[in-house]
């Protein structure tokens, strides 16, 4: 294999599993160390820069970082990255003084942001310090988008949401709430230099053809509409017996909200097997903890309505079968249909985009699925003035993805308004690599690896939370537990950097490495061969091999990044400092930093 | 600040026949200098014991004094251990072995511990063919006391202070063969592919198994002009950088061709060649092995690999006809069979 090019920032970036997996590439280990040091405002600001909503995300993030965490491969449970973010947010103190301070000198450019969800809010935050005049539209009465209308207060208290939305609005954003934008054409005739569409995926999928759907409609609700109506306090009650259809996170929010609105016998019924449900494992756990059974392998057949009143639903029992290609088929197992009683049914079987307000003749091309054609890198539509991001771009995802889109769209808007090239004039990420050596056995980071298992986040008493819709269930880590959880982080951003010209091939690093990462071996042409030749064969192909140039003995050093603990022992035991532990800092360039360096 | 070895190991480590992964054979974290050859030898011992499916409680580690003699703390934490007086490991090993012949005895010593203060004990334990493995971690100096020349330092080798050694070195391998050792080998700490099998063979050998392992002291004997330094070797390679030379450097690498000769730069500019046992030399023939060692030496080479083995070795217990049952497990009824038995013996002597 060719020597690894560690000058390519993406090589070391990939080693920082969590950061790499985070759509916004939040420098996770960096902020976790700040938490361990008790520097909560700093930890908050690292997050704020990257993901804009640390307090919100510290409670609700889909956390793609956690399954990626190295700790999963080394022991089992990832570091509680998400809940540590909350520790930073809960203890941040006054951070407003650390944020850009307006009023900002106007740059004469005007941008319309349609929809006030996380995507638009991110664009707003990134562009405001540059002096843009930003007009934010939403049909709802306040900002936050689905974070406000969909995510229930027992997961995300309104105060937390308000605070972080207001950090942005306070940068001088001109808000137009209770304002539905009914025509893109009309918007384009106004004097906006650019338009950003962050209108989300606002339409809940229905089951219109199921028998009884019409007759029972009084008590059959679309999950997201119902949640929105609860959030804005139009709906305050639900029947005793509730069926929630669907296996995603919306279904979990629906069933848990039902429990708080009078639902005593609430059950989730889902077509797929339990293990294949879309909901995150922790969402399922939380629902079950609130005495909500999840009944899998049941396909809805009909609503049972008697005398105009919904009585329940019938289901067909199925099982999952897989063909050779692994494709799933649900096949009936036979036997009579199953009946479940219900006073109300909530349908939470998916969401869709819909753009009734965008005329199809205003230069924005739509594909055969009625989705706008959007460039994956620039977020620009076929109308060069109009940008998309968040759920509006490629369908429903999550908050952190909307934020990541927002950052990129903001850069594009800024480049566009400055009449530069959206692709060529994008800046690469900010990267830095600094040695952590401070002395013998002395590193600039806490290199000790603790064996503590993941700490559980304490929850408020069920008796209280089930009777008060707004009472937050999770209490968050207290500081001592937060510290201990932070210590579980393996500091994957502290990279092992190898300099072959210094190596005397004494084997000390090979001998000391606790997880058998390092091998000195003859090289091989093919990566698969080299993987098999290592001291401990490198079976995890998603993890790279770090290959050195040829050494005096004609061998190469090969390090399997897979389960490196970043303990620094290789560097500590190396007599010549051929190994060094170097802190790698990688930060996605945002519109304001982008502008500064222009 | 930390200097703690993490508890985590590679999740896919294979298990040996006893169901242990290799880390079960590890010891405490080494306090030797970073890059010390001795640590590599410890690692080879760990690997050898793991591969040999040794039950740790069936093995006793013995050593004298020195950096080398400290290493038993760094391997086989679950085994017995005795860190004895300087140069006196053989007598402690003899005592232990006499009392309990059932354990595997693994001795670790240094060139100072063996070739100077312990020379008297060393030669006698060879003569007696005590059933044990005896490794000398040979760095040509007294590492622990800050690098004075030892008796194995080569004549003409320069130490860290620039002093040239005036004295002829003691060649431990030829001495062992000369004195009748029944298993003699030589190796290099940087060559685990060779060292691990040698250790495994030595542990299996019924009798005294001696391995002299060249093991650079990075701190006190790694200087220019030393005949036992890796650094100097590599620097020189780079300085001359001839095409013929580089492949020959593979002596510290994975495999040797039988009968081939590989070179390591160990002298002030001069080449010392590490030879694998050449085909015409008969490892079963003491005379031939002796010749091979002497020939190599006269050419400035160090022969590594198995030098001599006597498969018919009879160990000390056999020679003095002790009981098959370990002495320490004989109970009173076996040791004092009683008046009747005495009468019988006496009757037989009339
Ligand atoms: C029940 C539920 C729970 C969820 N829980 C989580 C969670 O825990 N964690 C997570 O990461 N994600 C969660 N999500 C997904 C997440 O909320 C969205 O992916 C995210 O909010 C998308 O952000 P966005 O900025 O693209 O749009 P949205 O947040 O959807 O905001 C779009 C806004 O645009 C407004 N709008 C639309 N059209 C117009 C128009 N024409 N004129 C004016 N305003 C308009 C809407 O009113 C809305 O406020 C959840 C989703 C649902 C449905
Ligand atoms: C009876 C006695 N004399 C002298 C010493 C001092 N001393 C300690 S270690 C050592 C030499 C060790 O050399 P070697 O066996 O080669 O071990 P190394 O440290 O080189 O591995 C000496 C002379 C001692 N500890 N005890
Ligand atoms: S930091 Fe070095 S010694 Fe520690 S696990 Fe990684 S490669 Fe091994
Ligand atoms: S410890 Fe350092 S000098 Fe020794 S082999 Fe490893 S990298 Fe090379
Ligand atoms: S002084 Fe020499 S022999 Fe002792 S630990 Fe250091 S390098 Fe090894
Ligand atoms: Mg010595």
Residue A518 has a pLDDT of: 98
Task: Look at residue B53 and tell me whether its pLDDT is greater than 50.
Answer: yes
DSSP state of A15: H
A344-359 pLDDT, tens digit each: 999 999 999 999 999 9
Inspect the interface and report whether the beta carbons of A511 and B2 lie closer than 8 Å.
Answer: no
Q: Within this chain, do residues A251 and A347 fall inside the same structural domain, yes or no?
A: yes
Is residue B198 included in any domain, yes or no?
yes
Residues of B in contact with A447 (CB under 8 A): 2
Nearest atom (ligand 3) to Cα of A581: 1
Query: The CATH number of the domain where A309 resides is what?
Result: 3.50.50.60
Nearest CA in chain A to B252: A553
pLDDT recorded at residue A560: 98
Regarding whether A299 and A248 lie in a shared domain, the answer is: yes
Q: Is residue A180 a part of any domain in this protein? A: yes
- Asked whether residue B348 is domain-assigned, the answer is no
Q: What is the dihedral of CA A255, A257, A263, A266, to 10 degrees?
A: 10
CB–CB of B13 and A447 under 8 A? no
Full residue range of the structural domain in which residue B315 is found: 22-244+275-321
Residue B303, Cβ density class (10 Å: 0-12 exposed, 13-18 middle, ≥19 buried): buried
Q: Is residue B251 part of a domain?
A: no
* Domain end residue (candidates: A328, A351, A374): A351
**B279 falls in which pLDDT band (50, 70, 90)?**
low
> Which of A552, A554, A567 comes nearest B238 by C-beta?
A552
Q: Are A574 and A542 in contact (CB under 8 A)?
A: no
- The residue written with tokens 């190396």 in the block is A574
Q: Is residue A133 part of a domain?
A: yes
Tens digits of per-residue pLDDT, A11-35?
A: 999 999 999 999 999 999 999 999 9
Whether B34 is in a domain gets the answer yes
H-run or E-run covering B330: none
Work out the percent of chain B whose per-residue pLDDT is above 70: 85
Q: Does residue A112 form part of some domain?
A: yes
Q: Does ligand 3 lie within 6 Å of residue A491's CB atom?
A: no
Rounded to the nearest 10 degrees, the angle between the axes of helix A479-487 and helix A81-90 is 140
In this structure, the residues whose C-beta lies within 6 A of any atom of ligand 1 are: A 60-62, 114-120, 137-140, 145-147, 150-151, 180-181, 198-200, 202, 224, 227, 249-250, 253, 357, 390-392, 396-400, 402
**pLDDT value of residue B222:** 85
Q: How many domains does chain B have?
A: 1
Helix (H), strand (E), coil (C) string for B44-94: HHHHHHHHCCCCHHHEEEEECCCHHHHHHHHECCCCEEEECCCCCHHHHHH
Give the tens place of pLDDT for each residue, B59-76. 999 999 999 999 999 999
Residue A494 lies in a domain: no
Q: What is the pTM of this model?
A: 0.89
Q: Which residue has the higher pLDDT, B201 or A589?
A: A589
Q: A568 CA distance to ligand 3 centroid (A)?
A: 6
Question: For residue A573, which residues of chain B lie inside 8 Å, CB to CB?
Answer: 34-35, 39
Closest residue on chain B to A563 (Cα): B10
φ, ψ of residue A343 to 5 degrees: the values are -90, -35
Kindly state whether residue B299 falls inside one of the protein's structural domains: yes
Tokens of B42: 């410890």
Quick: pLDDT tens for A391-416: 999 999 999 999 999 999 999 999 99
Cβ atoms of A82 and A53 within 8 Å: the answer is no
- A189 and A313: one domain? no
For the domain that residue B316 is a member of, what is the CATH number?
3.40.50.970
* A150 & A275 share domain: no
- Residue position matching structure tokens 């389960």: A563
- Specify if A516 maps to a domain: no
Interface of A with B in 66-95 (CB under 8 A): 73-75
b/e map B45-83, b = 16+ CB within 10 Å: bbbbbbbbebebeebbbbbbbbbbbbbbbbbbeebbbbb
| B304 within some domain | yes
Query: Could you tell me the residue range of the domain that residue A148 belongs to?
Result: 100-202+353-417
A117 falls within a domain? yes
* Per-residue pLDDT tens digits of chain A, which is 598 residues long: 999 999 999 999 999 999 999 999 999 999 999 999 999 999 999 999 999 999 999 999 999 999 999 999 999 999 999 999 999 999 999 999 999 998 999 999 999 999 999 999 999 999 999 999 999 999 999 999 999 999 999 999 999 999 999 999 999 999 999 999 999 999 999 999 999 999 999 899 999 999 999 999 999 999 999 999 999 999 999 999 999 999 999 999 999 999 999 999 999 999 999 999 999 999 999 999 999 999 999 999 999 999 989 999 999 999 999 999 889 899 999 889 999 999 999 999 999 999 999 999 999 999 999 999 999 999 999 999 999 999 999 999 999 999 999 999 999 999 999 999 999 999 899 999 999 999 888 899 999 999 999 999 999 999 999 999 999 999 999 999 999 999 999 999 999 999 999 998 999 999 999 999 999 999 999 999 999 999 999 999 999 999 999 998 889 999 999 999 999 999 999 999 999 999 999 999 999 876 543 4
Same structural domain, A104 and A208: no
Q: In the numeric block, which tokens belong to residue A569?
A: 């022992």
Q: Are residues A336 and A405 in the same domain?
A: no
Is A65 within the bounds of a domain? Answer: no
Q: Supply the DSSP symbol for B232.
A: H
For ligand 4, whether the C-beta of A578 sits within 6 Å is yes
ipTM of model: 0.87
- Pick from A507, A539, A557, A558 the residue to mutate for testing the B interface (most B CBs within 10 Å): A507
Residue B157 resides in a domain: yes
Taking CA–CA distances from B41, the nearest residue in chain A reads A511
Number of domains in chain A: 2
Which of A301, A320, A351 is at the close of a domain? Answer: A351
pLDDT at B1: 42
Give dist(CA A195, CA A136) in Å, integer: 10
Cβ <8 Å between A505 and B237? no
* Strand B271-275 to B261-265 pairing: antiparallel
pLDDT of residue B225: 85
Which atom of ligand 3 lies closest to the CA of A496? 1
Contact criterion met (CB below 8 Å) for B206 and B316: no
């Amino acid at each position: 294999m060719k020597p690894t090019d560690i000058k390519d920032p993406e090589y070391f970036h990939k080693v920082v599993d969590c950061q790499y997996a985070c759509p916004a590439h939040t420098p996770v280990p960096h902020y976790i160390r700040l938490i361990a040091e008790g520097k909560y405002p700093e930890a908050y600001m690292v997050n704020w820069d990257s993901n804009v909503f640390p307090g919100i995300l510290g409670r609700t993030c889909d956390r793609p970082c956690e399954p990626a965490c190295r700790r999963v491969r080394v022991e089992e449970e990832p570091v509680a990255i998400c809940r540590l973010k909350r520790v930073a947010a809960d203890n941040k103190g006054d951070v407003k003084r650390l944020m850009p301070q307006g009023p900002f000198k106007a740059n004469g450019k005007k941008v319309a942001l349609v929809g006030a969800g996380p995507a638009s809010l991110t664009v707003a935050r990134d562009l405001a310090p540059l002096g843009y005049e930003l007009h934010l539209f939403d049909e709802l009465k306040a900002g936050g988008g689905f974070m406000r209308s969909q995510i229930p207060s027992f997961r995300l208290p309104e105060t937390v949401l308000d605070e972080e939305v207001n950090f942005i609005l306070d940068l001088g954003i001109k808000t137009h709430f209770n304002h539905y934008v009914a025509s893109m054409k009309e918007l384009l005739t106004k004097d906006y230099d650019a338009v950003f569409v962050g209108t989300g995926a606002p339409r809940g999928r229905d089951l219109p053809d199921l028998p009884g759907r019409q007759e029972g409609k009084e008590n059959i609700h679309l999950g997201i509409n119902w949640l929105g109506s609860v959030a804005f306090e139009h709906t305050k009650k639900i029947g005793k017996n509730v069926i929630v259809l669907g296996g995603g996170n919306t279904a979990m929010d629906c069933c848990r909200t039902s429990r708080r609105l009078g639902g005593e016998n609430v059950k989730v019924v889902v077509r797929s097997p339990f293990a294949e449900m879309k909901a995150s494992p922790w969402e399922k756990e939380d629902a079950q903890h609130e005495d909500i059974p999840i009944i899998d392998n049941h396909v809805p057949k009909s609503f049972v309505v008697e005398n105009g009143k919904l009585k329940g639903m019938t289901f067909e029992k199925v099982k999952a079968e897989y063909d050779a290609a692994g494709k799933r088929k649900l096949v009936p197992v036979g036997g009579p249909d199953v009946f479940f009683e219900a006073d109300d049914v909530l349908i939470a079987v998916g969401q869709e985009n819909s753009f009734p307000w965008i005329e199809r003749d205003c230069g924005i091309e739509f594909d055969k699925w009625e989705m706008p054609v959007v460039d994956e890198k620039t977020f620009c539509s076929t109308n060069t003035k109009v940008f998309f991001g968040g759920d509006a771009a490629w369908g429903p995802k999550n908050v952190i993805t909307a934020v990541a889109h927002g950052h990129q769209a903001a850069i594009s808007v800024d480049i566009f308004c400055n009449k530069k090239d959206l692709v060529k004039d994008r800046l690469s990420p900010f990267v830095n690599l600094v040695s952590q050596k401070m002395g013998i056995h002395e590193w600039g980071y806490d290199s000790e690896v603790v064996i503590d298992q993941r700490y559980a986040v304490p929850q408020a008493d069920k008796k209280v939370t089930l009777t008060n819709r707004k009472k937050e269930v999770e209490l968050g880590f207290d500081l001592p537990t937060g510290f201990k959880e932070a210590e579980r982080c393996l500091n994957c951003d502290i990279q092992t950097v190898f300099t072959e010209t210094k190596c005397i091939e004494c084997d000390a690093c090979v001998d000391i490495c606790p997880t058998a990462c390092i091998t000195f071996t003859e090289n091989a042409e093919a990566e698969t061969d080299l993987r098999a030749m290592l001291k401990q064969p490198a079976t995890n192909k998603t993890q790279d091999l770090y290959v050195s140039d040829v050494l005096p003995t004609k061998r190469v050093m090969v390090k399997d990044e897979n389960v490196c603990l970043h303990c620094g022992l290789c560097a500590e035991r190396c007599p010549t400092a051929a190994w060094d532990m170097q802190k790698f800092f990688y930060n996605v360039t945002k519109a304001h930093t982008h502008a500064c360096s222009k | 600040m930390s200097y703690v070895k993490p508890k985590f190991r590679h999740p896919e480590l294979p298990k040996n026949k006893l169901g242990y992964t290799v880390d079960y054979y590890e010891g405490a974290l080494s306090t030797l200098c970073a890059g010390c050859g001795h640590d590599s030898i410890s690692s080879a011992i760990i690997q050898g014991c793991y591969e040999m499916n040794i039950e740790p409680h069936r093995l006793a580690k013995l050593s004298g004094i020195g950096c080398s003699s400290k290493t038993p703390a760094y391997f086989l934490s679950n085994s017995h251990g005795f860190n004895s007086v300087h140069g006196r490991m053989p007598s402690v090993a003899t005592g232990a072995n006499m009392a309990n012949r059932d354990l595997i005895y693994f001795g670790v010593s240094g060139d100072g511990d063996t070739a100077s203060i312990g020379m008297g004990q060393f030669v006698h334990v060879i003569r007696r063919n005590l059933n044990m493995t005896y490794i000398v971690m040979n760095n040509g100096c007294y590492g622990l006391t800050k690098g004075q020349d030892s008796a194995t330092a080569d004549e003409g080798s320069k130490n860290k202070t620039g002093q040239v050694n005036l004295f002829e070195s003691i060649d431990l391998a030829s001495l062992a063969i000369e004195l009748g050792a029944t298993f003699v080998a030589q190796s290099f700490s940087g060559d685990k592919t060779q060292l691990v099998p040698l250790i495994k063979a030595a542990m299996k050998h019924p009798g005294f198994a001696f391995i002299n392992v060249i093991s650079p002291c990075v701190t006190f004997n790694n200087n220019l002009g030393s005949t036992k330094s890796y650094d100097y070797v590599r620097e020189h390679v780079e300085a001359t950088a001839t095409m013929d030379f580089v492949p020959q450097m593979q002596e510290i690498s994975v495999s040797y061709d039988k009968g081939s000769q590989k070179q390591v730069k160990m002298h002030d500019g001069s080449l010392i060649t590490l030879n694998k046992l050449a085909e015409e030399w008969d490892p079963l023939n003491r005379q031939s092995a002796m010749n091979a060692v002497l020939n190599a030496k006269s050419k400035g080479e160090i022969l590594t690999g198995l030098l001599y083995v006597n498969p018919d070795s009879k160990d000390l217990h056999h020679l003095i006809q002790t009981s098959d049952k370990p002495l320490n497990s004989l109970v009173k009824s076996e040791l004092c069979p009683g008046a009747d038995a005495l009468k019988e013996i006496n009757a037989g002597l009339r």
